[in-house]
Amino acid sequence: MIKLIAKSVILSTLLSAPCFAESSNTTNSLNSKNQVTANFAVDYSQYNTVLEASVLELARSDRSYISYDENEQGPNLGSNRATDAEANRFYYEQFIDDPELTKSIAAIQSNLLSYLANNQLSKLSNEEQTAFWLNLHNVAVINELAQRYPKDTNSLSYDVADKSSFFYKKLFTYNGQELSLDDIEYKILMPLNKNNPLVMYGLYKGYIGSPNIRTQAYTANNLMPSLIDNAQEFINSNRGTNYSSNLLNVSTMYKDKKAYFNDFNNDLLAHLSLYADNDLLNKLKNKKTALFTIDNYDITDVTGPKHRDSYDIIISNWDKALLIPQHSFPRLNNLNIPAKRIVILRELQRKNDLLKTNVSGENAYYANNQ
Protein backbone atom coordinates (compact mmCIF):
# COMPACT_ATOMS: atom_id res chain seq x y z
CA MET A 1 0.00 0.00 0.00
CA ILE A 2 2.71 2.48 0.95
CA LYS A 3 4.60 1.63 -2.22
CA LEU A 4 1.59 2.41 -4.42
CA ILE A 5 0.79 5.65 -2.62
CA ALA A 6 4.38 6.85 -2.70
CA LYS A 7 4.59 6.05 -6.40
CA SER A 8 1.42 8.04 -7.10
CA VAL A 9 2.62 11.08 -5.20
CA ILE A 10 6.14 11.03 -6.65
CA LEU A 11 5.20 10.47 -10.28
CA SER A 12 2.35 13.00 -10.31
CA THR A 13 4.64 15.68 -8.95
CA LEU A 14 7.40 14.85 -11.42
CA LEU A 15 4.96 15.40 -14.26
CA SER A 16 3.69 18.75 -12.99
CA ALA A 17 6.55 20.50 -11.17
CA PRO A 18 8.11 23.61 -12.77
CA CYS A 19 11.85 23.99 -13.22
CA PHE A 20 12.22 27.45 -11.68
CA ALA A 21 10.69 29.37 -8.80
CA GLU A 22 10.96 32.91 -7.53
CA SER A 23 13.86 33.63 -5.20
CA SER A 24 13.45 34.80 -1.60
CA ASN A 25 16.02 36.71 0.45
CA THR A 26 17.72 35.33 3.54
CA THR A 27 19.82 36.72 6.36
CA ASN A 28 21.29 33.56 7.89
CA SER A 29 24.60 32.66 6.26
CA LEU A 30 27.43 30.22 6.63
CA ASN A 31 29.55 32.54 4.50
CA SER A 32 28.28 36.02 3.70
CA LYS A 33 30.91 36.84 1.06
CA ASN A 34 28.47 36.50 -1.83
CA GLN A 35 25.11 38.14 -1.23
CA VAL A 36 23.98 38.24 -4.86
CA THR A 37 20.21 38.02 -5.18
CA ALA A 38 19.07 36.29 -8.36
CA ASN A 39 15.63 36.59 -9.93
CA PHE A 40 15.19 32.84 -9.72
CA ALA A 41 15.76 30.03 -7.25
CA VAL A 42 16.32 26.34 -7.72
CA ASP A 43 13.04 24.47 -7.52
CA TYR A 44 13.19 21.52 -5.13
CA SER A 45 9.50 20.57 -5.23
CA GLN A 46 10.20 17.25 -6.96
CA TYR A 47 12.87 16.34 -4.44
CA ASN A 48 10.67 17.43 -1.53
CA THR A 49 7.92 15.13 -2.77
CA VAL A 50 10.31 12.18 -2.71
CA LEU A 51 11.54 13.10 0.77
CA GLU A 52 8.02 13.52 2.11
CA ALA A 53 6.98 10.15 0.72
CA SER A 54 10.14 8.26 1.61
CA VAL A 55 11.87 9.56 4.76
CA LEU A 56 10.93 8.10 8.13
CA GLU A 57 11.97 10.64 10.75
CA LEU A 58 12.93 8.82 13.94
CA ALA A 59 13.08 10.37 17.37
CA ARG A 60 16.39 11.60 18.76
CA SER A 61 18.61 9.10 20.50
CA ASP A 62 17.93 8.40 24.17
CA ARG A 63 21.32 6.63 24.40
CA SER A 64 19.67 3.27 25.04
CA TYR A 65 20.90 -0.01 23.57
CA ILE A 66 18.60 -2.43 21.79
CA SER A 67 18.06 -5.94 23.16
CA TYR A 68 17.65 -8.65 20.54
CA ASP A 69 15.75 -11.88 21.04
CA GLU A 70 17.43 -14.69 19.11
CA ASN A 71 14.10 -16.52 18.88
CA GLU A 72 12.05 -13.56 17.66
CA GLN A 73 9.99 -13.93 14.50
CA GLY A 74 10.08 -11.38 11.70
CA PRO A 75 12.74 -9.05 10.37
CA ASN A 76 15.96 -8.45 12.21
CA LEU A 77 16.53 -4.76 11.63
CA GLY A 78 20.24 -4.87 12.38
CA SER A 79 22.93 -6.06 14.75
CA ASN A 80 24.58 -2.93 16.16
CA ARG A 81 22.90 -2.59 19.54
CA ALA A 82 24.12 0.94 20.24
CA THR A 83 23.10 2.61 16.98
CA ASP A 84 20.52 0.46 15.19
CA ALA A 85 17.57 2.45 16.56
CA GLU A 86 19.05 5.75 15.42
CA ALA A 87 19.10 7.78 12.19
CA ASN A 88 16.25 8.66 9.86
CA ARG A 89 15.35 5.98 7.33
CA PHE A 90 14.76 6.17 3.59
CA TYR A 91 12.26 3.80 2.02
CA TYR A 92 14.59 2.21 -0.53
CA GLU A 93 12.33 -0.84 -0.62
CA GLN A 94 9.91 1.03 -2.90
CA PHE A 95 12.47 0.92 -5.73
CA ILE A 96 12.70 -2.88 -5.87
CA ASP A 97 11.50 -4.08 -9.28
CA ASP A 98 9.99 -0.66 -10.04
CA PRO A 99 11.95 1.01 -12.84
CA GLU A 100 9.54 3.95 -12.97
CA LEU A 101 10.33 5.05 -9.44
CA THR A 102 14.02 4.46 -9.96
CA LYS A 103 13.90 6.62 -13.08
CA SER A 104 12.13 9.36 -11.13
CA ILE A 105 15.14 9.77 -8.82
CA ALA A 106 17.48 9.87 -11.79
CA ALA A 107 15.24 12.52 -13.36
CA ILE A 108 15.49 14.70 -10.25
CA GLN A 109 19.26 14.43 -10.37
CA SER A 110 19.27 15.37 -14.07
CA ASN A 111 17.03 18.33 -13.31
CA LEU A 112 19.51 19.63 -10.74
CA LEU A 113 22.43 19.02 -13.08
CA SER A 114 20.80 21.31 -15.65
CA TYR A 115 21.66 24.24 -13.39
CA LEU A 116 25.33 23.31 -13.68
CA ALA A 117 25.13 23.03 -17.45
CA ASN A 118 23.47 26.44 -17.73
CA ASN A 119 25.95 28.06 -15.33
CA GLN A 120 23.11 29.32 -13.13
CA LEU A 121 24.79 28.91 -9.74
CA SER A 122 26.99 32.01 -9.96
CA LYS A 123 23.82 34.11 -9.79
CA LEU A 124 22.87 32.69 -6.40
CA SER A 125 23.91 33.71 -2.89
CA ASN A 126 26.35 31.55 -0.96
CA GLU A 127 23.52 30.12 1.14
CA GLU A 128 21.59 29.12 -1.97
CA GLN A 129 24.70 27.62 -3.56
CA THR A 130 25.45 25.66 -0.39
CA ALA A 131 21.87 24.34 -0.28
CA PHE A 132 22.11 23.35 -3.95
CA TRP A 133 25.33 21.36 -3.56
CA LEU A 134 24.06 19.60 -0.44
CA ASN A 135 20.86 18.62 -2.23
CA LEU A 136 22.68 17.47 -5.36
CA HIS A 137 25.04 15.38 -3.24
CA ASN A 138 22.18 13.75 -1.33
CA VAL A 139 20.03 13.12 -4.41
CA ALA A 140 23.03 11.48 -6.08
CA VAL A 141 23.56 9.19 -3.07
CA ILE A 142 19.89 8.17 -3.10
CA ASN A 143 20.04 7.64 -6.86
CA GLU A 144 23.16 5.47 -6.68
CA LEU A 145 21.69 3.29 -3.92
CA ALA A 146 18.25 3.08 -5.53
CA GLN A 147 19.78 1.88 -8.80
CA ARG A 148 21.31 -1.20 -7.18
CA TYR A 149 19.10 -1.79 -4.14
CA PRO A 150 18.88 -4.35 -2.56
CA LYS A 151 22.00 -5.85 -4.16
CA ASP A 152 25.37 -4.91 -2.69
CA THR A 153 23.83 -2.68 -0.02
CA ASN A 154 24.06 -4.80 3.15
CA SER A 155 26.95 -2.63 4.27
CA LEU A 156 28.40 0.50 2.69
CA SER A 157 31.77 0.10 4.40
CA TYR A 158 33.30 -0.99 1.09
CA ASP A 159 31.93 2.09 -0.68
CA VAL A 160 33.30 4.41 1.99
CA ALA A 161 36.77 2.88 1.92
CA ASP A 162 37.20 2.01 -1.75
CA LYS A 163 38.39 4.90 -3.91
CA SER A 164 36.72 3.34 -6.95
CA SER A 165 33.23 3.42 -5.37
CA PHE A 166 30.46 5.84 -6.27
CA PHE A 167 31.55 8.27 -3.54
CA TYR A 168 34.74 8.93 -5.49
CA LYS A 169 33.58 8.33 -9.07
CA LYS A 170 33.41 11.45 -11.26
CA LEU A 171 29.68 12.03 -11.66
CA PHE A 172 29.37 15.71 -12.57
CA THR A 173 31.04 18.40 -14.64
CA TYR A 174 31.10 22.00 -13.43
CA ASN A 175 33.09 24.84 -14.98
CA GLY A 176 34.99 22.28 -17.02
CA GLN A 177 36.00 20.28 -13.94
CA GLU A 178 34.86 16.72 -13.28
CA LEU A 179 33.54 16.26 -9.75
CA SER A 180 32.76 13.33 -7.47
CA LEU A 181 30.59 13.32 -4.36
CA ASP A 182 33.78 13.60 -2.33
CA ASP A 183 34.84 16.59 -4.45
CA ILE A 184 31.55 18.35 -3.70
CA GLU A 185 32.48 18.41 -0.03
CA TYR A 186 36.16 19.23 -0.24
CA LYS A 187 36.43 21.27 -3.45
CA ILE A 188 33.10 23.11 -3.44
CA LEU A 189 31.43 23.27 -0.04
CA MET A 190 34.46 23.71 2.20
CA PRO A 191 35.91 26.70 0.29
CA LEU A 192 32.43 28.17 -0.17
CA ASN A 193 31.88 28.11 3.60
CA LYS A 194 35.39 28.75 4.88
CA ASN A 195 35.79 25.23 6.26
CA ASN A 196 32.79 25.57 8.57
CA PRO A 197 32.40 22.03 10.03
CA LEU A 198 28.61 22.34 10.06
CA VAL A 199 28.74 21.52 6.35
CA MET A 200 29.58 17.88 7.07
CA TYR A 201 26.22 17.36 8.79
CA GLY A 202 24.33 18.19 5.60
CA LEU A 203 25.96 15.38 3.65
CA TYR A 204 23.86 12.21 3.74
CA LYS A 205 25.96 9.12 3.00
CA GLY A 206 23.25 6.47 2.97
CA TYR A 207 24.33 4.52 6.06
CA ILE A 208 23.21 4.70 9.69
CA GLY A 209 26.50 6.08 10.96
CA SER A 210 26.24 9.19 8.79
CA PRO A 211 24.30 12.44 9.38
CA ASN A 212 20.55 12.32 8.89
CA ILE A 213 18.68 12.57 5.63
CA ARG A 214 16.11 15.28 6.30
CA THR A 215 12.44 15.43 5.42
CA GLN A 216 12.87 18.59 3.35
CA ALA A 217 15.40 19.84 0.85
CA TYR A 218 17.93 22.41 2.00
CA THR A 219 17.16 26.01 1.08
CA ALA A 220 18.79 29.33 1.85
CA ASN A 221 16.17 29.96 4.53
CA ASN A 222 16.40 26.63 6.36
CA LEU A 223 20.10 25.95 5.81
CA MET A 224 21.60 27.10 9.10
CA PRO A 225 18.89 25.77 11.46
CA SER A 226 18.82 22.46 9.58
CA LEU A 227 22.59 21.97 9.79
CA ILE A 228 22.63 22.89 13.48
CA ASP A 229 19.77 20.47 14.14
CA ASN A 230 21.59 17.67 12.31
CA ALA A 231 24.80 18.45 14.21
CA GLN A 232 23.04 18.36 17.58
CA GLU A 233 21.20 15.15 16.70
CA PHE A 234 24.36 13.39 15.53
CA ILE A 235 26.71 14.54 18.29
CA ASN A 236 24.24 13.65 21.04
CA SER A 237 23.53 10.19 19.66
CA ASN A 238 25.38 6.91 19.99
CA ARG A 239 26.32 7.32 16.33
CA GLY A 240 28.32 10.42 17.15
CA THR A 241 29.69 9.97 20.66
CA ASN A 242 29.59 7.66 23.65
CA TYR A 243 31.55 6.88 26.78
CA SER A 244 33.01 3.54 27.79
CA SER A 245 35.24 3.08 30.84
CA ASN A 246 35.58 6.86 31.02
CA LEU A 247 36.97 6.94 27.49
CA LEU A 248 35.43 9.24 24.89
CA ASN A 249 34.50 7.35 21.73
CA VAL A 250 33.49 9.29 18.64
CA SER A 251 32.38 8.46 15.13
CA THR A 252 35.00 7.33 12.65
CA MET A 253 33.49 10.01 10.40
CA TYR A 254 35.45 12.64 12.30
CA LYS A 255 38.74 10.89 11.61
CA ASP A 256 38.26 11.75 7.94
CA LYS A 257 37.36 15.39 8.67
CA LYS A 258 40.73 16.74 9.77
CA ALA A 259 40.58 19.37 7.03
CA TYR A 260 37.88 21.19 9.00
CA PHE A 261 40.05 21.61 12.10
CA ASN A 262 43.43 23.36 12.32
CA ASP A 263 44.34 21.90 15.72
CA PHE A 264 42.52 18.64 15.19
CA ASN A 265 42.13 17.19 18.71
CA ASN A 266 41.43 20.46 20.51
CA ASP A 267 39.25 21.93 17.77
CA LEU A 268 37.24 18.73 17.42
CA LEU A 269 36.54 18.60 21.15
CA ALA A 270 35.57 22.28 21.09
CA HIS A 271 33.26 21.59 18.16
CA LEU A 272 31.59 18.69 19.96
CA SER A 273 31.18 20.82 23.08
CA LEU A 274 29.47 23.56 21.09
CA TYR A 275 26.55 21.29 20.20
CA ALA A 276 26.61 18.87 23.15
CA ASP A 277 23.72 18.57 25.57
CA ASN A 278 24.42 19.16 29.26
CA ASP A 279 25.20 15.53 30.05
CA LEU A 280 27.70 15.16 27.22
CA LEU A 281 29.14 18.61 27.87
CA ASN A 282 30.00 17.67 31.44
CA LYS A 283 31.73 14.52 30.23
CA LEU A 284 33.71 16.44 27.63
CA LYS A 285 35.26 18.72 30.23
CA ASN A 286 38.97 18.11 30.69
CA LYS A 287 39.03 15.57 27.86
CA LYS A 288 42.14 15.85 25.70
CA THR A 289 41.68 13.05 23.19
CA ALA A 290 39.01 10.91 21.58
CA LEU A 291 38.98 7.37 20.21
CA PHE A 292 37.57 6.94 16.70
CA THR A 293 35.73 3.69 17.26
CA ILE A 294 32.05 4.23 16.36
CA ASP A 295 30.64 3.15 13.02
CA ASN A 296 27.56 1.58 11.49
CA TYR A 297 27.64 1.09 7.73
CA ASP A 298 24.22 -0.57 7.43
CA ILE A 299 22.13 1.21 4.82
CA THR A 300 19.36 3.45 6.18
CA ASP A 301 16.54 1.43 4.65
CA VAL A 302 13.42 0.42 6.58
CA THR A 303 13.30 -3.35 6.76
CA GLY A 304 16.92 -4.16 7.50
CA PRO A 305 19.56 -6.42 5.99
CA LYS A 306 17.82 -9.79 6.34
CA HIS A 307 14.34 -9.03 5.07
CA ARG A 308 14.52 -6.39 2.36
CA ASP A 309 12.35 -8.58 0.13
CA SER A 310 9.82 -9.31 2.89
CA TYR A 311 8.17 -5.98 3.64
CA ASP A 312 4.85 -7.73 4.32
CA ILE A 313 6.37 -9.12 7.53
CA ILE A 314 6.65 -5.63 8.96
CA ILE A 315 3.19 -4.62 7.75
CA SER A 316 1.69 -7.64 9.52
CA ASN A 317 3.05 -6.40 12.83
CA TRP A 318 1.52 -2.92 12.62
CA ASP A 319 -1.66 -3.66 14.58
CA LYS A 320 0.21 -5.45 17.36
CA ALA A 321 2.79 -2.68 17.68
CA LEU A 322 0.14 0.03 17.85
CA LEU A 323 -1.44 -1.71 20.86
CA ILE A 324 1.68 -1.12 22.92
CA PRO A 325 1.78 2.16 24.92
CA GLN A 326 4.10 4.69 23.33
CA HIS A 327 6.91 4.28 25.86
CA SER A 328 6.25 0.73 27.07
CA PHE A 329 8.65 -1.26 24.96
CA PRO A 330 9.26 -5.03 24.95
CA ARG A 331 10.48 -7.16 27.71
CA LEU A 332 7.26 -5.78 29.29
CA ASN A 333 4.82 -7.22 26.74
CA ASN A 334 3.95 -10.62 25.30
CA LEU A 335 4.16 -9.70 21.62
CA ASN A 336 7.90 -10.26 21.16
CA ILE A 337 8.29 -7.13 19.03
CA PRO A 338 11.65 -5.48 19.78
CA ALA A 339 11.76 -1.80 20.69
CA LYS A 340 13.43 -0.71 17.51
CA ARG A 341 10.80 -2.33 15.36
CA ILE A 342 8.02 -0.62 17.30
CA VAL A 343 9.66 2.74 16.63
CA ILE A 344 9.89 1.91 12.93
CA LEU A 345 6.31 0.61 12.79
CA ARG A 346 4.91 3.72 14.45
CA GLU A 347 6.76 5.93 12.02
CA LEU A 348 5.54 3.83 9.10
CA GLN A 349 1.98 4.14 10.31
CA ARG A 350 2.32 7.92 10.63
CA LYS A 351 3.92 8.13 7.19
CA ASN A 352 1.24 5.96 5.66
CA ASP A 353 -1.47 8.20 7.11
CA LEU A 354 0.34 11.26 5.76
CA LEU A 355 0.61 9.79 2.29
CA LYS A 356 -3.06 8.79 2.29
CA THR A 357 -3.97 12.37 3.21
CA ASN A 358 -1.77 13.75 0.42
CA VAL A 359 -3.25 11.44 -2.18
CA SER A 360 -6.82 12.11 -1.02
CA GLY A 361 -6.22 15.84 -1.27
CA GLU A 362 -4.64 15.44 -4.69
CA ASN A 363 -7.54 13.31 -5.96
CA ALA A 364 -10.05 15.83 -4.61
CA TYR A 365 -8.23 18.65 -6.36
CA TYR A 366 -8.30 16.86 -9.71
CA ALA A 367 -11.95 15.85 -9.22
CA ASN A 368 -12.93 19.48 -8.62
CA ASN A 369 -10.95 20.77 -11.57
CA GLN A 370 -12.11 18.41 -14.29
For residue 41, what are the contacts with CB-CB under 8 A and spacing of at least 6?
20, 21, 22, 23, 24, 124, 128, 219, 220
Give the confidence band of 79 by pLDDT, cuts at 50, 70, 90: low
Q: Convert the pLDDT of each residue in 249-302 to its tens digit.
A: 999 999 999 999 999 999 999 999 999 999 999 999 989 899 999 999 999 988
pTM: 0.78
Q: What is the dihedral angle through the alpha carbons of 197, 159, 45, 190, rounded to the nearest 10 degrees?
A: 20
Report domain extents, the chain: 2-51+91-239+296-307
Residue 197 dihedral angles phi and psi, to the nearest 5°:
-65, -15
Whether 122 has a pLDDT exceeding 70, the answer reads yes
The verdict on whether omega for the bond into residue 150 sits within 30 degrees of 0, i.e. cis, is yes
Mean of per-residue pLDDT scores for the chain:
78
Amino acid symbol at 111: N
Q: Convert the pLDDT of each residue in 134-190 to its tens digit.
A: 999 999 999 999 998 888 776 688 777 788 889 999 999 999 999 999 999 999 999
Exposure class string for 10-25: b at 16+ Cβ within 10 A, else e: bebbbeebeeeeebee
Give the confidence band of 120 by pLDDT, cuts at 50, 70, 90: confident
Lowest mean pLDDT of 206-215, 290-299, 345-354, name the range: 345-354
